[in-house]
Amino acid sequence: MTKRVTLRVIGLVQGVGYRLMSQKEAQRRQLSGKVRNRDNGSVEIIAEGDEAELKGFIQWCYTGVGPAQVHKIEEEWAEATGGFVDFVIES
């Protein structure tokens, strides 16, 4: 089933390659969406795709990347809108 999840990744996640690695992992899982830094120091991810792949992606997000330290991830689930073609890094 195709779903949409919005994630707010909280911790040391900016300036450590988190967006790029998130993009690569999402593309590996054939997810579409976007990732961007937020002014409050968190990273926001909106991803759409197979529910099982999304759940696996969320688990990956907790592990972080290199020096990244994920303290918390807030999840908001919804039905997919189909508004994304690829998974992109947004400035």
Q: Give the lowest-confidence range in 18-32, 33-47, 55-69, 76-90.
A: 55-69
pLDDT at 62: 94
Contact (Cβ atoms closer than 8 angstroms) between residue 46 and residue 4: yes
- CATH code for the domain defined by 2-90: 3.30.70.100
Q: Over the stretch 43-57, which tens digit does the pLDDT of each residue have? A: 999 999 999 999 999
Among residues 8, 29, 36, 37, the one annotated as catalytic is 37
pLDDT at 36: 99
Asked whether the predicted pLDDT for residue 65 surpasses 80, the reply is no
Tell me if residue 19 is catalytic.
Answer: yes
Q: What is the mean pLDDT of residues 52-64?
A: 95
Q: Over the stretch 6-15, which tens digit does the pLDDT of each residue have? A: 999 999 999 9
Helix (H, G, I), strand (E, B) or coil at 28: helix
Tell me if residue 40 is catalytic.
Answer: no
DSSP secondary-structure letter at 42? -
Among residues 8, 19, 28, 40, the one annotated as catalytic is 19
Domain range annotation of the chain: 2-90
